[in-house]
Amino acid sequence: MGIREFPGGAPGGKSIAIGMRRSPDVSPRRLSDISPQLRQLKYLVVDEAIKEDLKWSRSVEDLTSGPVGLTSIEERILRITGYYGYQPWAASYKREERPRDPPGPAEAQAPVGTDPGGRPSPRCWRCSQAQLKKIFWGVAVVLCVCSSWAGATQLAKLTFRKFDAPFTLTWFATNWNFLFFPLYYAGHVCKSAEKQSVKQRYRECCRFFGDNGLTLKVFFTKAAPFGVLWTLTNYLYLHAIKKINTTDVSVLFCCNKAFVFLLSWIVLRDRFMGVRIVAAILAIAGIVMMTYADGFHSHSVIGIALVVGSASMSALYKVLFKLLLGSAKFGEAALFLSILGVFNVLFITCIPVILYFTKVEYWSSFDDIPWGNLCGFSVLLLTFNIVLNFGIAVTYPTLMSLGIVLSVPVNAVVDRYTSKIVFNGVRVVAMVIIGLGFLLLLLPEEWDVWLIKLLTRLKVRKKEEAAEGGADLGSGPQNKSGRARPSFAR
């Protein structure tokens, strides 16, 4: 121990500080490392009779003083037992380096997420408020996806009564994809703090296609194939609506989720999951049962084959997009979908013209075309794609997928009152099986780990409740005696 003088500080010009020679840290063995239950000592309840007998020791007083008192108990036990290498000043020095006020009674007993006054902390309130907002938006997105998809399906069925041209309807609705990037840029101007011009934003989004941006080679190699798949998916879906009822079409299209998993497992080498294999088997079984529900008639078999082909094209589109282009941001996705609209105008326009002159899809005059139905279908399909591609910004992807499967009962209710559909037992079972497979595919990859953790927590909670109940029953006789043992209370 020595005396050192420091200039300044005291009124007299000098201040005297007593220093202690501290040895380097030797990392002594702590009782908290040996026995984790020692941390429960801060919840110790000591009888008044024992406090009177142990007034000579400050250990009982330290028990109620929080973590600092608990550390002093460890120091005293280690000093009394003569543990080799124990240096009490080293532990004290560590505490001096990190000064911390002991928590008051309200802080020590306050639950997680509350302030010392017992009220919910602002951080916890903000988190819960953000989660509630995300769930609220999720419900709104689910309703929007369900209503737009079911509405587009029903409106297409209604349109074919006056305008029997599924490919022309597909071409007309795909042209509206051109609006994706303008609508995205309008949202960017309204929400973004750093506003960019259309040209700057376009160049930034074009980096998605590579360092050279959108070149002619990139257009034909990375955009044109997806334009063909987009057109085939929508055309096969609309052509199937002509053959079978909309309920069967919507429920069979839900199988595209199973096809995406199978293709991702084969092409992208995604993780194998047994539950998703089961979901794929359920989807295939549902397709077979749906075919059997109508007695394997040629008309229904063709319609089911068209829907399955549409679901397969949709799955191939998603898997190839991930394989060739990866993941896209909102602006990049909007630009890509607008490019598909441009491709449709430039290279697909000739096909409806050929179908018209060959009278495969023929209408007598342009006045007979139900333009209101065509525009309504295009707006609903555009809304569906916008919400499905950009809804992830405000809610969870799983909730958005639920909107597609919820469109099945909506179409079933509409078909029940507008068509002659018969909901026999086989059809209902097939719908339930396909819906169950779709829901199983929505499970996250770590669902089994989360389930095990949940079951473990429930089991531990039951054991703790049983132990607390036994402790409460056993503490009755002890309280009657004047010198009772201290008991742990949570």
Residue 287 pLDDT exceeds 50: yes
3-class DSSP state of 382: helix
Answering whether pTM is above 0.85, one says no
* Among 87, 73, 70, 69, residue whose Cα is nearest residue 28: 87
The predicted pLDDT at position 86 comes to 41
In which band, very low, low, confident or very high, does the pLDDT at 377 lie, cut at 50, 70 and 90?
very high
The yes-or-no verdict on residue 67 having pLDDT over 90 is no
pLDDT at 39: 53
Burial class (CB in 10 A: 0-12, 13-18, 19+), 304: buried
For 254-262, what is the mean pLDDT? 89
Give me the mean pLDDT over the 95-120 stretch. Answer: 41
Residue 463's pLDDT band (boundaries 50, 70, 90)? confident
Cα–Cα dist 306/312, whole Å: 10
Beta strands in 253-355 (DSSP E): none
pLDDT tens figures, 184-212 = 999 888 887 788 888 899 999 998 888 88
pLDDT at 312: 94
Other CB atoms closer than 10 Å to residue 319's CB: what's the count? 21
Question: For residues 344 and 333, what is the distance between their CA atoms, to the nearest angstrom?
Answer: 17
Sign of CA dihedral 447, 450, 454, 455: positive
Enter the DSSP assignment of 202. Answer: H
pLDDT at 169: 95
Q: How far apart are the first and last CA of the chain?
A: 44
- At 50 the pLDDT is 52
Structure tokens at 178: 């051109």
Least confident among 38-52, 76-90, 306-320: 76-90
d(CA 285, CA 430) in angstroms, rounded, equals 8
pLDDT band of residue 36 (cuts 50, 70, 90) is: low
* 80: confidence class by pLDDT, cuts 50, 70, 90: low
Which three-class secondary structure state does DSSP give residue 194? coil
- 372: buried, middle or exposed (CB in 10 Å: 19+, 13-18, 0-12)? exposed
With a cut of 60, say whether residue 460 has pLDDT above it. Answer: yes
- pLDDT, tens only, 124-183: 545 577 778 778 888 888 899 999 999 999 999 999 988 889 999 999 999 999 999 999
Q: Which of 238, 257, 247, 255 is nearest to 293 (CA)?
A: 247
pLDDT number for residue 183: 92
Higher pLDDT, 155 or 291: 155
Give the pLDDT mean for 258-285. Answer: 85
DSSP state at residue 40: G
Q: Long-range contacts made by residues 459-468, C-beta under 8 angstroms, separation at least 24?
A: 464/490
Q: How far apart are CA 372 and CA 379, in angstroms?
A: 10
Burial class (CB in 10 A: 0-12, 13-18, 19+), 469: exposed
Q: How far apart are CA 418 and CA 153, in angstroms?
A: 14
20 vs 404 pLDDT, higher one = 404
> Residue 305 has what pLDDT?
92
The structure tokens listed for 2 are 């020595």
Provide mean pLDDT across the span 424-428: 84
Mean of the pLDDT values across residues 349-372? 90
In the structure encoding, which two tokens stand for residue 312, read together?
Answer: 């397969």
User: What is the structure's pLDDT at 292?
Assistant: 81
In this predicted structure, which of 96-110, 198-212, 437-451 has the lowest mean pLDDT?
A: 96-110
Give pLDDT tens digits for 319-343: 999 988 888 888 999 999 999 999 9
Q: Do 434 and 283 meet the contact criterion of CB atoms below 8 Å apart?
A: yes
150: tokens are: 């079911």
Round the average pLDDT of the chain to a whole number and report it.
75
pLDDT of residue 52: 52
Whether the Cβ atoms of residue 283 and residue 437 lie closer than 8 Å to each other: yes
Beta carbons within 10 angstroms of residue 368's beta carbon: 9
Angstrom distances, CA of residue 238 to CA of 173, 402, 472: 11, 22, 69
In the structure, what pLDDT confidence band is assigned to residue 25 with cuts at 50, 70 and 90?
A: very low
Compare 349 and 480 and report the one with higher pLDDT.
349
Minimum mean pLDDT among 164-178, 270-284, 290-304, 383-397: which range?
Answer: 290-304
Say if strands 44-45 and 14-19 run parallel, antiparallel, or are unpaired: unpaired
At residue 358, φ and ψ (nearest 5 deg) are -85, 0
pLDDT at 37: 52
Q: 3-state DSSP call for residue 14?
A: strand
CA distance 236 to 75: 78
Contact indicator for 213, 339 with CB cutoff of 8 Å: no
76 band by pLDDT with thresholds 50, 70 and 90: low
Query: Has residue 380 got a pLDDT over 50?
Result: yes
